Amino acid sequence: MDNLLCSVLLLAVTTLILIDADCSTYPAVKNSYLNKDDQCDDTSITCNKGYNMKQMVKCEGGEWQYQEPFCEPQDCEYKYTNGTYLSFHSKYKSISNQQECTEVCNNDATCGGAEFHTGLCFFHPPPVIAVFIDTDLNECITKCSELNECLMLNYYPDDDESKCRLFNVTLNDLYEGEIRFDSRHILVEKIC
């Protein structure tokens, strides 16, 4: 087929986005992927898991103008299990502050997130995927909502340095020994 006609069909919507002749670049729809074959036949865009496609239209001069589609996060529900947290074996090392602690973790493939605590840096393994310090519970939930891989979070309110830990597993994926109880902790599962 004529490569210049190589186009992207968006769901049932009539908008065609022309992409370059050899299909080498992808239409820039954030949080999506392109399903294409060599001929660019039946090419479509699918939003990543956890996102829904939305396309805005507006009426201009009596005609519908289609806007670029986008993938927006699905509305998820957050299920609280209060007084529960996850326990994991973390390596630690003497380090001077949270920033350095985070940097060392970012350069270590085995580290999911790091927490600085009285002169020591604790490197948490997966299923930890990120740690945020000094957020409130709502901010922690927002962080999880923004990360596709985040399925659960553990919030530990602490006047000095609250801890927000994000995980890529749910409670069902864990075995009992990993689940601990402490009234101060809040565990929240993301259900989309």
Ligand X SMILES: *[C@@H]1O[C@H](CO)[C@@H](O)[C@H](O)[C@H]1NC(C)=O
Give CA–CA dist 108/53, Å, rounded. 35
DSSP state for residue 99 in the 8-state scheme: H
Q: Cβ closer to ligand X: 169 or 179?
A: 169
Residue 114 makes contact with ligand X by CB under 6 A: no
Comparing C-alpha atoms, which of 46, 45, 65 is closest to residue 56? 65
Give CA–CA dist 15/20, Å, rounded. 16
Residue 127 makes contact with ligand X by CB under 6 A: yes
User: Looking only at residues 129 through 188 of this chain, which bind ligand X when binding is defined by CB under 6 A?
Assistant: 129, 137, 168-169, 186
Give CA–CA dist 11/53, Å, rounded. 9
The stretch near ligand X (CB under 6 A) out of 26-34, 92-100, 113-121, 123-131 is 123-131
Residue of 18, 80, 100, 119 that binds ligand X (CB under 6 A): 80
Residue of 74, 82, 99, 106 that binds ligand X (CB under 6 A): 82
**26-65 footprint of ligand X as x/- string (CB under 6 A):** ----------------------------------------
Give CA–CA dist 34/52, Å, rounded. 15
Rounded to the nearest whole angstrom, what is the least distance from the CB of residue 183 to ligand X in the complex?
10
Q: Cβ closer to ligand X: 83 or 119?
A: 83
Rounded to the nearest whole angstrom, what is the least distance from the CB of residue 170 to ligand X in the complex?
9
Strands 179-191 vs 152-156: parallel, antiparallel or unpaired:
antiparallel
Q: Cβ closer to ligand X: 3 or 110?
A: 110
Give CA–CA dist 30/130, Å, rounded. 21
Backbone angles phi, psi at 78, to 5 degrees: -120, 120
Contact 150, 165 (CB under 8 A): no
Q: Cβ closer to ligand X: 33 or 80?
A: 80
Q: Which residue has the tokens 């989309």?
A: 192
Q: Using CB under 6 A, list all residues that contact ligand X.
A: 80, 82, 126-127, 129, 137, 168-169, 186
